[in-house]
Structure 1
Amino acid sequence: MSPSVKLRWIYILMVVFLALFSVQMGLFVAHQMEGRGLGTGILIYIVFDLIIGYTLIRAIWRITAQAYLSRKWHKLFSSNRHAKLTKHLNYKYRGLGTEIIVVRNEAFVALAIGMYRPKIVISTQVLHMFNDDEVKAILLHEWHHCRNHDSIKLFIMTLLTEAFGYWPIMKPIFRYYQTWTELLADRFAIRQMGTELHLGSVLLKLSKLGKTEPVTAVHFAASAMHYRMLQVLEPHQTVKVKISLLRPLLASLSLLLLLMLGGDT
């Protein structure tokens, strides 16, 4: 099974699981509004109410935080925009059909930002650190994120993971999804460049820098550096990303069963 197909099935598994849980929560709320079982299962109702309240609070907090951070970074990028370099790169890479914004910053910044109309943001430091081919590899990586709208997909995954974080299955799926999002973008860049040399050079340099990027969008050196280096070293072999699903899945199904049985009492 190809990584993209496996990723799709894992995503479907998560959606189905959360859909079942949401249906159970809806049935519980309906029963509570009708006043059924309030006399004998008051403790169960309190537990269910706490779970629902926690889920809603976490979801609202994540949405609010994302809106605030997005506005903050958009304002920062706009105020530090390098007009000349922005115009130059947009002309040079006009074939991508995606807006590129160059910002004045001494740190490494390369990311895809925006949920509905994604843009590529890179810093002047990127242009100073890397040669033209390496910059092109970085831009192709980010362009893949833009084409696939990975920013909004990652936001939805983050929202679900935080809102339903009490389910053991959520975090392993999120980490796996995040890792393969980066690997597929790297694979696209390598395929477009015709060689893994330039991307490998970028990753090697970044591995020495550490993580210095903002955390509000899909960014180049965000995660999975180990797997990404393996893919560059062995481009003709599929990287095996470890994911432990059996125990978290069984634990989550057991918890769901207990909630379903509790909701019927």
Structure 2
Amino acid sequence: MTKNYTNTLFMTSTFISSILLIQMICYLFSIFCGFTLSFNLFQVCQRFFQVIGVPYIEYMLLALVFYTILHTALLIAEQAIQKRKMHKRLLCLVNEKRSSELMQQMEYRQKHVLVIEHHDPMAITMGFFQPKIFLSTGLWDLLSKEEIKAVLFHEAYHQKKLDPLKSFLIQLFATIIWYIPLLKWISKQYIVIREVLADDYAIKKSGNPIDISNALIKMIKNRQQKKHPFTYVSFAESSVNYRIRYILNPDKPYTMRLPFLSTVASLNIFIILSILFIIAFI
């Protein structure tokens, strides 16, 4: 398992999505502000559909642009509100004494790790640019001291790598640009590898795979199926089957197999866009 997998997936998703979103924004500027570009992908689409005699597709294209931009704005606003509410709620549950004791034991600063009073076992990393780790008192009732330490190492990896922000972005791209099916596959792969890398970090820090595997199994048995916003990462909510297989057999290499149908569909879209690029220069 290498970090290059996640970097490649994240950069690929970001590149594809950024190009499309920038083109859409420029297209809207050209319509409402009279701003013109020497080249704009969606303007090329517009001219192409007019040339082949199906001008009504122009309006479908405009609707798609409006839908994507509006959907993006609504999702960002929704997630920002949910994150703020959840963060505020968690801060109200903070147990200052136990947080200080934990930080002294684990050598963490106060602003990074907080213990909250809650009966459900929870381990959450939340925040985009300065993520915090929240551990519930229910975790202490369920796990041993060594298992809690392993979970903390797992969440520390997410904190260090700014995974809540990256997770939000890559899932946002897959949601709003659903017509590029490869983005959804990339999002799922990224989540799997991210969790496995965090487990691997915890194993290296704790010195053995037993504590992290026991903690994962115990939390899976006690977790409740709830729908959460994707502005944070939680210890036992995703990629469980592969994580267990990796912990049992860490030497087995991870291989990414591109889904045939999604890859073909995405490739066809790329070819069509490439043709439109050529038309723009004729």
TM-score (norm 2): 0.82
Q: Percent identity?
A: 23
Match of 1:247 among 254, 261, 266: 261
CA contact (8 A) 2:93 2:116 kept: yes
Partner Cα distance (1:22, 1:57) in 2: 11
Secondary structure of the structure 2 residue equivalent to 1:17:
helix
Partner Cα distance (2:27, 2:275) in 1: 11
Evaluate the alpha carbon distance shift between residue 236 and residue 211 of structure 1 in structure 2; reply closer, same or farther with a 3 A threshold: farther
Q: Which moved more, 1:231-240 or 1:164-173?
A: 231-240
5+ residue gaps, structure 2, are 37-42
Q: Which moved more, 1:209-218 or 1:185-194?
A: 209-218
Partner Cα distance (2:133, 2:227) in 1: 14
Alignment of structure 1 residues 27-66 onto 2, 5 Å: 37=47, 41-66=54-79
CA contact (8 A) 1:108 1:212 kept: no
Alignment of structure 1 residues 197-208 onto 2, 5 Å: 197-208=210-221
Match of 2:11, as an amino acid? I
Shift, 1:94, TM fit: 2.1
Evaluate the alpha carbon distance shift between residue 257 and residue 44 of structure 1 in structure 2; reply closer, same or farther with a 3 A threshold: farther
5+ residue gaps, structure 1, are none
Q: Does 1:67 align with 2:66?
A: no
Match of 1:142 among 151, 155, 160: 155
Partner Cα distance (1:260, 1:239) in 2: 32
Secondary structure of the structure 2 residue equivalent to 1:169:
helix
**Partner residue in 1 for 2:238:** 223
CA contact (8 A) 2:99 2:110 kept: no
Match of 1:172, as an amino acid? W
**Partner residue in 2 for 1:16:** 15
Work out the number of aligned pairs and report it: 263
Moved over 6 A (4+): none
**Partner residue in 1 for 2:143:** 130
Q: Which moved more, 1:34-43 or 1:147-156?
A: 34-43
**Partner residue in 1 for 2:40:** none
Match of 2:196, as an amino acid? L
CA contact (8 A) 2:6 2:194 kept: no
Partner Cα distance (2:75, 2:60) in 1: 23
Shift, 1:191, TM fit: 0.5
Shift, 1:213, TM fit: 6.4
Shift, 1:206, TM fit: 2.1
| RMSD between aligned residues | 2.8
Q: Which moved more, 1:5-14 or 1:136-145?
A: 5-14
CA contact (8 A) 1:24 1:260 kept: no
Evaluate the alpha carbon distance shift between residue 9 and residue 154 of structure 1 in structure 2; reply closer, same or farther with a 3 A threshold: same
Secondary structure of the structure 1 residue equivalent to 2:181:
coil
Q: Deviations over 1:133-184 (max 9, x none)?
A: 0000000000000110111111111221111122111111000001111000
Shift, 1:116, TM fit: 1.1
Match of 1:12, as an amino acid? M
Match of 1:109, as an amino acid? M
Match of 2:243, as an amino acid? R
Evaluate the alpha carbon distance shift between residue 115 and residue 24 of structure 1 in structure 2; reply closer, same or farther with a 3 A threshold: closer
Partner Cα distance (1:151, 1:48) in 2: 33
**Partner residue in 2 for 1:233:** 248
Q: Deviations over 1:226-254 (max 9, x none)?
A: 011111111333344x5434431321232
TM-score (norm 1): 0.87
